[in-house]
Structure 1
Amino acid sequence: MFSNLALAYGFIYVCLGLIAAGIIVLFYMKIKHNAEQREMEHYAAKHHDYFVYVQAHLHDDIKLELPPGKLTRAERRVIQAKFIEWIEQFKGEAREKLLHLCREAGFVEEDLRALSSPRKGRRIEAAYRLGGMRAEEAVPQLQQLMNRTRYGPQTIILARAIAKSANEQRQIREMLSRLLSYGKAIHHMAADILLETRLDAPSLMRKLLDDQDPGLVKVALVAMWGQAVPAAVPTLNRLVGSEEKDVRAEAVKLYLGSNPALKDDTIAALMRDHAWEVRAAAAKALGRLHAAGSIPLLAEALKDENWHVRNNSAESLAMLGEQGFETLCQAALTGTGPARETALYRIERIMAKEGDHEEVEQMVAFNKKKLVYDRYFGIQPSKRIGTVAGVGGDYTA
């Protein structure tokens, strides 16, 4: 009995010792971090005049000089961080001058050596800085490092560094393939990384659209949002019929966004697609295109078995003026089941915005919808919708 009690006391003392050691380590780390911050702030103030000199002459036709005197390691980090910050902000000749300064100061060479460090943290920090300095000679090492790194935040840092530094389209493709090989749903993040490249992005995206890997095709489609790539329109026509539903859905969004004049049979085929992602994408795009001729299709889509398709159809109908809004009101009165509930929910959202419109055109558009609403329901929306629904509650599902 006494031996068990002594063992319990010993265990408690060990736990207390470990807790005390942990607290001491945390305090040490906090004190060290604060000291490093103060040191960085001191060196930033010390080199303030040099930073002003560089910034003032970035666009002048002169050769920029390195800071005078011998620099400590911390000073070099402060100056390098400032250069990388400016590299992200500037383009053209100003950026090239900063990149040249980084090489002349030995920052690139130093971080290239750090990529071989046994410490993982130091390797990742070096990769981040090399990407910031667009060090194309670091790409092979960065690719090797990425190939032997498990998926995590470090993978994204390495991928961005490769995208910023690569000078060949092949390197970008290999990086994207490795990023997608982890099997994660990160196509949007991969598209964002793709757009970090210094290479001709439209040309790269056109090549990826013809790639055999559906994942790379989807990345290119996502990256094309907001990008003017007219030459890719014929490829979009083909991808709308792709067997991969994710690729087909993204292609539909872009296709509808780049083809304002569409044939009725094309729209109808997209709205009947067996993949709900495609139907939802088509329904959402038709409202933005102000395709009033598609109102019957959208009205029929209010009965779709998928909530996303029903909701996107109701949202598009609301964007199609008085005729589209009247279709919603008809569905709210005469429809049944999910179609009726979806229409009611969208009407409630629209009528709740009374008084929120500042532009004259918005006020006029809302007043027209209110006249249609009054013609169908005749009383205030908050009262009538509850009566029409028959029950209270949530109409979102």
Structure 2
Amino acid sequence: MFFMYTHLTLAIYFIYFCLGLIGIGIVSLFILKFNHLHKVKKNQQYLQKHQDYFKFIQTHLNGPSELPLPPGKLKELEGRVIQEKLIGWIEQFKGEYREKLVKLCHDAGFVRKDIKLLDSLFYGRRIASAYRLGGMRAAEAVPRLLTMMKNERYTPLTIVVARAVAKSAENEEQLKEMLQHLLRHGKPIHNMAADIVMETQLDASRLLLKLLDDENPDLVKVALVAMWGQAIPEVVPSLDRLVGAEQTDVRAEAVKLYLSSNPVLKDDTIKKLMADKDWEVRAAVAKSLGSLHAAGSIPLLRNALKDANWWVRNNSAESLAKLGETGFEVLCQIAMNGSGVERETAMYHIERAMLQDNEHQKLDQMVAYNKKKLLYERYFGVAERRPVRQVAAVGGDYTA
């Protein structure tokens, strides 16, 4: 009986303890909510208080004189509100306007304060200060930010520090070091790293050309991704070499960039790329052949519809649909006489082409659609409006 009462007493105390924790949690939430609302209210008050100062800065950005410091002795939150306003303008403007605002942040002591916060014991404060330093293009903080990336383990917030370095870097070596620290953890973030590099104020094309010849395949891949949409004639020799690189992902990105530059491809080159051992390369080539209007590659695309990889088959059919009557008729023949996945893929793109082309209004597009419609009716009868069927990756294809 004694032990029963002891257990019951412990259970009651445990319940009281849990209720106490719940009460503390509720009180903490109310305190956090109150502090947040108080901070928002103060922010609005400080923005209103310095409205005239902000207007003066905007109207004198194009003037010859230096911008004046914020008036009066600022409280910590008050200074932060002004700083965030200036950072927002720095992100919007370029050239002389940005330089004057950056100098104002230095003169007001904002940069100096945030560099000190990089030594804070709290990780959140260090990240917040790194974000603001990047916004202020604080070049003197770059060595400290690089050390921070070198010594700390990778987290998603490491991207914030990397972006701050890219915005503030004074030379290409700092950008390269930033990339090395960012990619050394083995994370698949090459696309994000390329986006970060392109935020630099430096001439990125020079750096990208150097990275293409680097021994580190991660840096090469970042350069290839970053070069999308950029016309850099000097890159062609490096691409010719990287198309035959040993690393699968590097070779695939090099082929995509090479094809995006609309080169005049030789038949031997096309055959070699379409027979590559990696499906990413074959899929990239198959997709590009339709955009390049390479009608001579129709037999290769026809054979590629039997490829083991779904992406290669799908891209090949899509390109055939773009290659006029001849390519469309090849799809019709496969849909009629083929079997398995090649027939399903061909039929999907035939129906898709019939629905899409019917929406064109230009004369040449309408003529092209009518020719395809005649071919369709020759093989399948009168065309009917129906939803496009979905193509599944079947037939033992697990590489997609």
TM-score range, shorter chain: over 0.9
- Report the CA distance shift for 1:339/1:83 in structure 2 as closer, same or farther (over 3 A): same
Letter matched to residue 39 of structure 1: K
Residue 72 (structure 2) aligns with: 69
* Residues 257-280 of structure 1: CA deviation (Å, up to 9, x unaligned): 224311111011111000111111
- Report the CA distance shift for 1:132/1:354 in structure 2 as closer, same or farther (over 3 A): same
Mapped to 2, the partners of 1:59 and 1:213 lie a distance apart of 45
Which of 339, 344, 357 is the aligned partner of 1:341?
Answer: 344
Residue 396 (structure 1) aligns with: 392
Structure 2-normalised TM-score? 0.93
Which of 214, 217, 220 is the aligned partner of 1:217?
Answer: 220
1:396 shift after superposition: 2.8
Q: Which deviates further from its counterpart, 50-59 or 185-194?
A: 50-59
Contact 2:120 2:126 in 1 (8 A): yes
* Residues 275-327 of structure 1: CA deviation (Å, up to 9, x unaligned): 11111111112222222222221111111000111111112222222222222
Letter matched to residue 77 of structure 2: A
Q: Which deviates further from its counterpart, 357-366 or 267-276?
A: 357-366
Q: Which deviates further from its counterpart, 3-12 or 178-187?
A: 3-12
Contact 2:332 2:376 in 1 (8 A): yes
Contact 1:233 1:258 in 2 (8 A): no
- Report the CA distance shift for 1:291/1:96 in structure 2 as closer, same or farther (over 3 A): same
Q: Which deviates further from its counterpart, 110-119 or 39-48?
A: 39-48
Residue 94 (structure 2) aligns with: 91
Structure 1 position 30 matched with structure 2 position 36: no
Mapped to 2, the partners of 1:133 and 1:206 lie a distance apart of 28
Letter matched to residue 391 of structure 2: Y
- Report the CA distance shift for 1:368/1:32 in structure 2 as closer, same or farther (over 3 A): farther
Mapped to 1, the partners of 2:30 and 2:38 lie a distance apart of 12
Residue 48 (structure 2) aligns with: 45
- Report the CA distance shift for 1:339/1:23 in structure 2 as closer, same or farther (over 3 A): same
Contact 2:262 2:292 in 1 (8 A): no
Mapped to 2, the partners of 1:302 and 1:43 lie a distance apart of 65
Mapped to 2, the partners of 1:174 and 1:98 lie a distance apart of 27
Q: Structure 2: give runs of 5+ residues left out of the alignment.
A: 394-400
Mapped to 2, the partners of 1:25 and 1:359 lie a distance apart of 65
Mapped to 1, the partners of 2:106 and 2:363 lie a distance apart of 57
Residue 256 (structure 1) aligns with: 259
Contact 1:257 1:289 in 2 (8 A): no
Structure 1 position 55 matched with structure 2 position 51: no
Letter matched to residue 256 of structure 2: K
Q: How many residues align?
A: 390
Structure 1 position 125 matched with structure 2 position 128: yes
Helix, strand or coil: the match of 2:228? Answer: coil
Residue 350 (structure 1) aligns with: 353
Mapped to 2, the partners of 1:292 and 1:227 lie a distance apart of 27
* Residues 340-382 of structure 1: CA deviation (Å, up to 9, x unaligned): 1111122222233365445555444433332322222112356
Structure 1 position 279 matched with structure 2 position 282: yes
Which of 273, 283, 293 is the aligned partner of 1:270?
Answer: 273
* Residues 213-252 of structure 1: CA deviation (Å, up to 9, x unaligned): 0111000000000112111111101100101110100000
Q: Which deviates further from its counterpart, 359-368 or 15-24?
A: 359-368
Structure 1 position 143 matched with structure 2 position 139: no
Helix, strand or coil: the match of 2:64? Answer: coil
Aligned pairs (5 A) from 1:365-384:
365-381=368-384
- Report the CA distance shift for 1:354/1:283 in structure 2 as closer, same or farther (over 3 A): closer
Residue 236 (structure 2) aligns with: 233
- Report the CA distance shift for 1:202/1:354 in structure 2 as closer, same or farther (over 3 A): closer
1:42 shift after superposition: 1.7
- Report the CA distance shift for 1:291/1:12 in structure 2 as closer, same or farther (over 3 A): same
Mapped to 2, the partners of 1:292 and 1:378 lie a distance apart of 27
Mapped to 2, the partners of 1:134 and 1:361 lie a distance apart of 52
Residue 155 (structure 1) aligns with: 158
Structure 1 position 320 matched with structure 2 position 316: no
RMSD between superposed Cα atoms in Å: 1.9
